[in-house]
Structure 1
């Protein structure tokens, strides 16, 4: 891929992410994406053929960081370390990819009707692997016998707070845009809630459940 092509693709995808995040798929016009990207409108159709294809590419761009976050959950690892790393990785996604995260969450709230098939397959496989990792830890008595599916759903929803509830969070924190400290505090709080909630009975009795702060 030539440098010019790569540069144009990057500009268009960045602009499209911001426009889709602000206006949704139906409210976004390709001319506005082109204007934000600083390229002729014809370039959008040259590279992506349609708004639908461009939207699909924006969604697919969010799958890679999600899979990278899931890679830290390994059955052979200590659950406390693994869960903390996973939560931190998902919070980092919201911090580093705010526009794509909002587009992706918005699409899921609408039922994921425009998710590419490739995207669906990867997400289904990721979800199954994550749940099986939790189930393995439960079966070995490393974490409490909670429902692994609902535990994973809780982590997903909690780590999407800044993406899905931006308006509410801005009023609570008094800051229109989350700062690094806000994301760090979110990761620490969610981690503590999860680890305290899944600590084995013997550990809870001793009040010992170690994780980095």
Structure 2
């Protein structure tokens, strides 16, 4: 791929992420994406052919960070280390990819009707591996006997708050958008809630943890 082509595609994807995040798929116009990207509208269709194709590409761009976050959960056999890394990684995604995160969350709220099949397959398989990891820790007595599926759902919902509840977050924090300190405190708070709820002596084990995101 030529450098110019790669650069233009990046500009279009970044602009599309912002437009889809602000307006949703149906209300977004390709002319607005092209204008935000600073490229002719014809270039958008040359690289992506349709708004649907471009939307799918935006969604696909969010899968890799999610898979990396899931891998962080299973890298250690210690649930404290794994859960801390997983929560920090998901908070980092919200901080580093705010537009794509919002687009992805919006798509899931609509039932994932336009989520590409390859996304579905990858995310389903990864979710099953994560639940089995939690179940293994539970069976070995490393975690409390909670439902691993609902524990995973709780972590997903808690870490997605900073994507979905921007208006409410602004009223709580007094800032229009969360800053780095907010994200760090979010990771710390969610980690403490999870570990103190499901890890034996979880409160004692969280006292010396570092919570960089």
**TM bucket normalised to smaller:** over 0.9
2:205 aligns with 209
Partner Cα distance (1:87, 1:170) in 2? 22
Partner Cα distance (1:76, 1:212) in 2? 15
1:166 aligns with 166
2:119 aligns with 119
Give TM-score, length-normalised by structure 2. Answer: 0.96
Partner Cα distance (1:151, 1:176) in 2? 30
Partner Cα distance (1:75, 1:139) in 2? 18
Listed one character per residue, the Cα deviations across residues 49-93 of structure 1 (whole Å, up to 9, x for unaligned) are: 100000000000000000001111127521001100000000000
Equivalent positions of 1:1-213 (< 5 A) are 1-74=1-74, 77-200=77-200, 203=201, 208-210=204-206, 212-213=209-210
1:73·1:83 contact (CA, 8 Å) conserved in 2? yes
Partner Cα distance (1:208, 1:97) in 2? 33
| TM-aligned CA deviation for residue 209 of structure 1 | 2.7
Which runs of no fewer than 5 residues in structure 2 stay unpaired? none
Partner Cα distance (1:71, 1:10) in 2? 26
Number of residue pairs the alignment of both structures matches: 209
Residues 12 and 155 from structure 1, CA distance in 2 versus in 1: closer, same or farther, beyond 3 angstroms? Answer: same
SS of structure 2 residue aligned to 1:160: helix
Moved over 6 A (4+): none
Partner Cα distance (1:41, 1:151) in 2? 45
Listed one character per residue, the Cα deviations across residues 77-110 of structure 1 (whole Å, up to 9, x for unaligned) are: 2100110000000000000000000000000000
1:75·1:137 contact (CA, 8 Å) conserved in 2? no
Task: Give me the CA root mean square deviation.
Answer: 1.1
Give TM-score, length-normalised by structure 1. Answer: 0.96
SS of structure 2 residue aligned to 1:115: coil
| TM-aligned CA deviation for residue 199 of structure 1 | 1.7
1:105·1:163 contact (CA, 8 Å) conserved in 2? yes
2:76·2:82 contact (CA, 8 Å) conserved in 1? no
Which runs of no fewer than 5 residues in structure 1 stay unpaired? none
Partner Cα distance (2:192, 2:54) in 1? 39
